[in-house]
Amino acid sequence: MTKTPTTVFQHRFGRRRFLGATAVGIGAAVTGTIPQIAYGGSKTIKLGMNIPLTGDYAPWGLPGLYGCEIVAQRLNASGGVEIGGQNYMIEMAAYDHGYDTEKAVQGFKKLVFEDDVKMVMMLGGSTVASVLPLSNRKKMLTTTLLPSDITPDSNYLVATCESHPLYNVTGVEWLAANFPNAKTAAIVTNNDAEYGLQSAATYKAAFEVEGIDVIDVNLHGFDVTDFAPIVSSVLAKKPDIFCMATSFYVTPLMEQLYHQGFKGKIISCTLDYYDEIIAKTSKEFVDGTIYQFPDFDDPKLTEDGINFPDPGGFDTSFRKDHPNDWSAVAWEYPAILLDWVDAAKAAGSIEPSDVVSTMLSNKNPHFVFGEGRWWGSQLWGLDNAVVGRWPVVTIVDGKARIQEYRSVSAWLDKNKDVLIKHMKALGLRTV
Amino acid sequence: MELFFQSIINGLIQSGFFALSAVGLVLIFGVMGVVNFAHGAMTMVGSYTIWYLHAQHGSPYLFTLAIATMLVMLIGILMERFLFRPKRDDPLGGLICSIGVLFILQVIATVIGGEGPSKQVPPPFHGTLVLFETLRVPYQRIFSIGVAVLALTVLWFFLVKTKLGWSLRAVSQDREAAALQGINIDRTSMIAIAVGGAMAGLAGGLMAPLTNINPHMGHSVIITAFIVTIVGGVGSLSGAVMAAVLYALFHTFVTTYFSGTIATISGLLIMVLVLIVRPTGIMGKAVSE
Amino acid sequence: MLRAKPKSLAGIGGLLLLLGILPYFLKYHHQDFLIFLIINVLVVVSYRLVTLTGEWSLIHAVMMGVGAYASAILTKSFDLSFWLALPLAGVVAGASAALLSYPLFRMTQFYFLIGSFAAGEAIRLCWIHFIYPFGGTSGISGIPPPELAGIDFLDPISYHYLVMAIVSICLITLYRIEKSHIGLILHAVHWKAPLAESVGVNTWRYRSLAFIIGSFFVGIAGTLKVHYLGTVTPNQFGIGFMVFILIWVIVGGYGKFYGAILGVVILSILDESFRRFDEIRPAIYGAILIASIMFLPSGLESIPTKFRARFFASKPAA
């Protein structure tokens, strides 16, 4: 029995993949009719990914495609997905915009008009802003990892999994609870509005709530090649905590901290490719770093209340097929895929507008870490972001380990005014 | 106060890279009259060589460093022979050709390295030297500044004490007079770009364990090289080295006390200022147009 | 006085007609491509005016951005109508050029090249650094489309006609400038600057004028671009795009008015057809660039002349 290919490569990821994709494409063309007969009248639907597969932002796009392929394959292997009485096979359609807004618009159009996708998954930021008018006009369900993309009229934009930068407060809460002697913090991160500043504002708010004094905020541009002066400048103020917020430069910053002999607590949003960081510094140095993204072979993911089937198996498959590519987003896009499946089943329809309205009218939306609720109107105009609990992860003996789950929801109920205050102070858009 | 001294150390180390890149560019422009826009990309090739042979395939670092240097030297020689030499009387054409080479090199790097996140090379020399209990210099950086200083010294020796070096200087001062003296312009040009390319490759190889490696890393290299070359003086190598040290210190201090973007903007504005007030730079001679 | 030959008028008319109905035969993706192509035609023709003075500036792409940002801020933050913002954006770009011409035109040749590059990068870094009002690396989004009598300008076909209309007006103006008295002096400054100066022509003033006018029109091109996209970011106008402009003008040729247009059209279509090989596209571009400099230094526009010369030239006198 020939397996239906689950992925259609729309754009280039390297010579080997291109040839592989061509082979798959030819195979699909040749055997196109057989699967339909084999699966008894299954139709195929495409789900779009308009993400960076190349360039600086690739770590937050490409691994997500790999993850979705694995999950889609599993769904199809178990017979597909039944929605509204019809069985569907899922195919991923990806477009590489390389984080260029022009290409993001082109990609969106191509996916929606030419590929007829039922959903467009995106990373977030200016690329999402550039497609919002289209998303609204075409009533196309669009997902993002950054709730800060939500505007008062982005009715078809939802953030069902990641709620950046809100979940960062959990790391700070855990740090304060476990290291009460850490009283001062410095924040060093890139100065872009969508990642760095959003994150910096959130960390500042979280530090304030815990009574930790933020003694320095150093926001740098994307053109920095040498981080030595920045780190020297910050360490001269002797902070107990070094916070990298959502930085694209975690590796060079960690290197500098190691070389310049920092002995305090390090906290960050992501810690992608931490094996490389350990190779450049040392295991003893990296142990204890606090961040927010688990490896999926973590035992705490098999507990009750986690809405991700067989996380360990997913982790193994991923590492087997893509040994060096695991990043923070590897499981997030697949989680959104599963959120879509859940909503489509409940709606009994694959049409984007039906799925969106079902999602938004569900008071307890499908969320990877358990219970979630819609939030966001206080900050961005619409309750289109799911918040619930989020894991706090540290490196233990060279490996990522979830320490505990903390509630983002509860923090927001108590402290959202502090957060709004800090966002306004950094000039970020709030309603 | 220790921040001040640490910044001086940070700046001096940076100056090694700036100097190597700038010197290569000055040599090529001085002797051949052409602006090599591919210079940053050539540095990138040096870094990628280290990544591919040393990090991915385990070739020893020092050996690979030599290979990186020679590989980029070869690229330079090929560029001279097939692109710059036929276009000797059309410097704009030569510049455009170098842009073409820049694109091609970037694509080759993309194909070899694959797309995706920047590559990292673990440093061959681990550990940090601690001075006076507060000043810290990683051994890898000491190594790179040491090699840079060594290379520049060898270059100085070559230019000042050898006949070949004199012929290079003669051609950069006055090509026609040099030709009349019997100096072979073709050969001299080739040597200039070979040396310039070698410097770029060496710089890339030294940078590899210390920075993010990706096809576009040459962009900041070429901007810095331009600034340093203009400020130091377009025809002058010693000017370029001096400007490299000064600019590295300037950039480091402004970054430390203000921000990196302000540092680059200021650097560019200084360059424009120099171009207006004293286009030949601090130590340069007038270049005939 | 514009004395156009009836044959060329008919040719141009036919071309415009073709262009007018083309979008109906294209997919969405390619409709967009066509809009950007027409905008880029304005970019290269305005650049050609600048190069008429013999100086090659590297700041043209940034000037496009100056117009784009100006229009974005005017329409979004000050609620100005697109139809007012469009010419104003051009004026802002032109005025910036006027200011910059003081320091820049003291340099020549190589130094002007580097100086214009540095000034452009500095401006671009200001867009990145000053989050208010330029939005930093993320730029500005939510730029409103033009409004006129209820036409939906988000629809590619409507925008296509808008762009055709505005770009045509600009091209006609640029053509008339070049054929006018000013254009003659510009040519003189290019080819025989010392001679021109000897009859009292202020070369500095005319170089600046070309630079200012070129910047005005490319500022308008920038406005057209970002009101379709809805977002403006600093990376759209960096050295990457500037290099493309250079390539289009050089490969197409800059001796005749239409050379640059040939370059941008042919290269853009080639580029788009290689979309499947996206990974190696820049290398193809690079190879074309090198081949063009080596084997066709006068550009694509010289092909008809060479063709005619080869096949229709009378035998040289013995």
DSSP for B107-134 reads HHHHHHH-SSSPB----SS--EEEETTT
Give tens-digit pLDDT for C285-305: 888 888 888 888 777 777 777
Q: For A309-335, what is each residue's pLDDT tens digit? A: 999 999 999 999 998 889 989 999 999
Chain C residue whose CA is closest to A221: C129
pLDDT digits (tens, 9 = 90+) for C204-223: 788 889 999 999 999 999 99
- A-C contacts (CB, under 8 Å): 84
Per-residue pLDDT, A33: 38
| A-chain residue closest to C281, CA distance | A12
Q: What is the pLDDT of residue A40?
A: 54
Instruction: Please report which confidence band the pLDDT of residue A36 belongs to, taking 50, 70 and 90 as the band edges.
Output: very low
The whole-angstrom separation of Cα B200 and Cα B72 is 7
Enumerate the residues of chain A whose CB falls inside 8 A of the CB of residue C137. 126, 191-193, 221-222
Please write down the HEC assignment for all residues of chain A: CCCCCCEEECCCCCHHHHHHHHHHHHHHHHHCCHHHHHCCCCEEEEEEEEECCCCCCHHHCHHHHHHHHHHHHHHHHCCCEEECCEEEEEEEEEEECCCCHHHHHHHHHHHHHHCCCCCEEECCCHHHHHHHHHHHHCCCCEECCCHHHCCCCCCCEEECCCCCCCCHHHHHHHHHHHCCCCCEEEEEEECCHHHHHHHHHHHHHHHHHCCCEEEEEEEECCCCCCCHHHHHHHHCCCCCEEECCCCCCHHHHHHHHHHCCCCCEEECCCCCCHHHHHHHCCHHHHCCCEECCCCCCCHHHHCCCCCCCCHHHHHHHHHHHCCCCCCCCCCHHHHHHHHHHHHHHHHCCCCHHHHHHHHHHCCCCCECCECCEEECHHHHCCCCEEECEEEEEEEECCEEEEEEEEEHHHHHHHHHHHHHHHHHHCCCCCC
CA distance B178 to B182: 7
Distance from C-alpha of B53 to C-alpha of B273, rounded to nearest angstrom: 43
Residue A11 above 90 pLDDT?
no
Nearest to C137 among A100, A109, A192 (CB): A192
For residue B287, being part of any structural domain is answered with no
pLDDT for position B282:
63
Using CA coordinates, name the residue in chain B closest to A234: B256
Instruction: List the chains bordering chain C where 3 or more Cβ pairs fall under 8 Å.
Output: A, B
Check CB contact of B89 with chain C, cutoff 8 Å.
no
Contact call for B97 and C279, based on CB within 8 A: no
Q: Which residue carries 């673990």 as its tokens?
A: B122
What is the pLDDT confidence band of residue B274, given thresholds at 50, 70 and 90?
confident
A12/C276 CB distance under 8 A = yes
Residue B19 has pLDDT above 60, yes or no: yes
pLDDT value for A14: 39
Average pLDDT over residues B242-252: 89
Pick the CATH number of A7-163+306-387 from 3.30.450.90, 3.50.50.60, 3.40.50.2300, 3.40.50.1000: 3.40.50.2300
**Residue A29, pLDDT score:** 44
Residue B267 lies in a domain: yes
- Interchain CB contact of A230 with B (< 8 Å): yes
Residues of C in contact with A144 (CB under 8 A): none
| Residue C231 at interface with chain A, using a CB cutoff of 8 Å | yes
* pLDDT mean over A263-285: 93
pLDDT at residue C183, as a whole number: 80
H or E segment to which residue B65 belongs:
helix B61-79
Asked whether the beta carbons of residue A14 and residue B255 sit closer than 8 angstroms, the reply is no
- The answer to whether residue C278 scores a pLDDT higher than 80 is no
Residue A12 has pLDDT above 50, yes or no: no
Report whether pLDDT(A256) > 70.
yes
The proportion of chain C whose per-residue pLDDT surpasses 90, expressed as a percent, equals 29
- On chain C, the residues whose CB falls within 8 A of the CB of A14 are 279
Q: Using pLDDT thresholds of 50, 70 and 90, give the confidence band for residue B285.
A: low
Residues of A with CB below 8 A from B118's CB? 56
pLDDT at position B26: 85
Range scoring the smallest mean pLDDT among B200-214, B234-248, C68-82, C156-170: B234-248
- Which residue of C57, C100, C105, C110 is the best one to mutate when testing the B interface, meaning the one whose CB has the most B CBs within 10 A? C110
Q: Which residue has the higher pLDDT, B117 or B6?
A: B6
Q: Among candidates C195, C300, C194, which has minimal Cα distance to C255?
A: C300
Q: Is residue B52 part of a domain?
A: yes
DSSP B287: P
Which chain C residues in 194-213 lie under 8 Å from chain A, judged by CB atoms? none
Touching check for A280 and chain B: CB below 8 Å? yes
C197, pLDDT greater than 60: yes
pLDDT cut 70: percent of chain A above it: 90
| Averaged pLDDT score across all residues of chain A | 88
Select from A101, A113, A194 the Cβ nearest to the Cβ of C229. A101
Cβ neighbours of residue C279 closer than 8 Å, sequence gap 6 or more: A12, A14, A15, A18, B107, B110, B111, B115
The vertex-A400 CA angle with A273 and A122, nearest 5°, equals 55
Comparing C-alpha atoms, which of C315, C117, C123 is closest to residue C222?
C123
**Average pLDDT of chain B?**
85
Of the two residues C276 and C150, the one the predictor is more confident about is: C150
The pLDDT tens digits of the residues spanning B66-112 come to 999 999 999 999 999 998 888 887 777 888 889 889 999 999 998 88
Range(s) for CATH 3.40.50.2300 in chain A? 7-163+306-387, 168-291+390-425
Q: Does B269 touch chain C (CB under 8 A)?
A: yes
- Of B128-132, C109-113, C216-220, give the lowest mean pLDDT range: C109-113
Does B283 fall in a domain? Answer: no
Residue numbers of B between 100 and 129 with CB closer than 8 Å to A: 111, 114-118, 120, 122-123, 128
Concatenated DSSP letters of chain C? -----HHHHHHHHHHHHHHHHGGGGS-HHHHHHHHHHHHHHHHHHHHHHHHTTT---S-HHHHHHHHHHHHHHHHHHS---HHHHHHHHHHHHHHHHHHHHHHHTTS-HHHHHHHHHHHHHHHHHHHHH-HHHH-GGG-B--PPPP-STT--TTSHHHHHHHHHHHHHHHHHHHHHHHHSHHHHHHHHHHH-HHHHHHTT--HHHHHHHHHHHHHHHHHHHHHHHHHHHS-B-GGGGSHHHHHHHHHHHHHH-SSSTTHHHHHHHHHHHHHHHTGGGGGGHHHHHHHHHHHHHHH-TT-TTHHHHHHHHHHHPPPPP-
C268 CB-side CA count, 13 A: 22
The pLDDT of residue C42 is 96
Ranked by mean pLDDT, the top range of A237-246, B172-181, C292-301 is: A237-246
Q: Name the helix (H) or strand (E) containing B61.
A: helix B61-79
8 Å CB contact of C128 and A134: no
Q: Which two tokens stand for residue B66?
A: 């030599």
In 3D space, the residue among A144, A142, A145, A249 whose CA is nearest the CA of residue A196 turns out to be: A249
CATH number for the domain that contains residue B216: 1.10.3470
Which chains pack against B, by 3+ Cβ pairs within 8 A? A, C
CATH number of A168-291+390-425, picked from 3.40.50.10470, 3.40.50.2300, 3.60.150.10, 3.20.10.10: 3.40.50.2300
Contact A129 C229 (CB under 8 A): no
pLDDT at A10 over 50: no
Chain C positions touching B102 (Cβ under 8 A) are: 286
pLDDT at B288: 37
Q: Which residue has the higher pLDDT, B160 or A47?
A: A47
Average pLDDT over residues B4-30: 86
Mean pLDDT of A13-42: 44
The chain B residue lying nearest A231, using CA atoms, is B256
Looking at residue B283, its pLDDT comes to 62
Residue A15: pLDDT band (50, 70, 90) is very low
pLDDT (0 to 100) of residue C6: 67
Number of A:B CB contacts under 8 A?
A: 99
Q: Which residue has the higher pLDDT, C148 or B201?
A: B201
The answer to whether the CB atoms of A251 and B120 lie below 8 A apart is yes
Give the least confident one: B88-102, C21-35, C271-285. C271-285
Q: What percent of chain A has pLDDT over 90?
A: 71
Task: Kindly determine whether residue C118 and residue B271, on different chains, have CB atoms separated by under 8 Å.
Answer: yes
d(CA B147, CA B208): 14
Which residues are CB-neighbours of A161 under 8 A, at least 6 positions away? A145, A332, A335, A336, A339, A367, A368, A386
In this complex, the residue of A15, A96, A129 whose CB is nearest that of residue C231 is: A129
Q: Is C77 on the interface with A (CB under 8 A)?
A: no
pLDDT at C29 over 50: yes
Confidence grade of residue A340 (pLDDT, cut at 50, 70, 90): very high
pLDDT higher than 90, residue C54: no
pLDDT tens readout for residues C74-107: 998 898 899 999 999 999 999 999 999 888 887 7
The model's confidence at residue A229, banded by pLDDT at 50, 70 and 90, is confident
Task: Please report whether residue B170 resides in a domain.
Answer: yes
Distance from CA of A114 to the nearest CA of C (A): 8
Residues of B in contact with A236 (CB under 8 A): 2-3, 6
Strand (E) or helix (H) holding B252: helix B237-257
**Could you tell me which residues come within 8 angstroms of residue A110 by beta carbon, excluding any fewer than 6 positions away?**
A10, A95, C28, C29
Beta pairing partners, B191 = none
Q: Which residues of C touch B22 (CB under 8 A)?
A: none
Q: At what angle do helices A101-109 and C203-229 cross, to 10 degrees?
A: 40
pLDDT score for A58:
87
Q: Which two tokens stand for residue C87?
A: 């010419």
Which residue of chain B has the CA closest to C297? B93
Please list every residue in chain C whose beta carbon sits closer than 8 Å to the beta carbon of residue B104: 282-283, 286-287
Residue-number span of the structural domain to which B80 is assigned: 2-277
For A169-227, the pLDDT digits (tens) are 999 999 999 999 999 999 999 988 889 999 999 999 999 999 999 999 998 877 777 88
pLDDT tens digit string along B32-52? 888 898 999 999 999 999 999
Quote the Cα angle for A352-A52-A171, to 5°.
90
Interface subset of C 271-310, CB within 8 angstroms of A = 276-279
pLDDT tens sequence across B144-158: 899 999 999 999 888
**Taking residues A161-167, what's their average pLDDT?**
92
The total of structural domains in chain B comes to 1
Query: Chain-wide mean pLDDT for chain C?
Result: 84
Asked if B15 reaches chain A (Cβ–Cβ under 8 Å), the answer is: no
Q: Which of C52, C45, C46 is nearest to C258 (CA)?
A: C45
Residue C113 has pLDDT above 70, yes or no: yes
Q: Which of B118-122, C237-241, C296-300 has the highest mean pLDDT?
A: C237-241
Mutate to test the interface with C, among A16, A19, A101 (most CBs of C within 10 A): A101
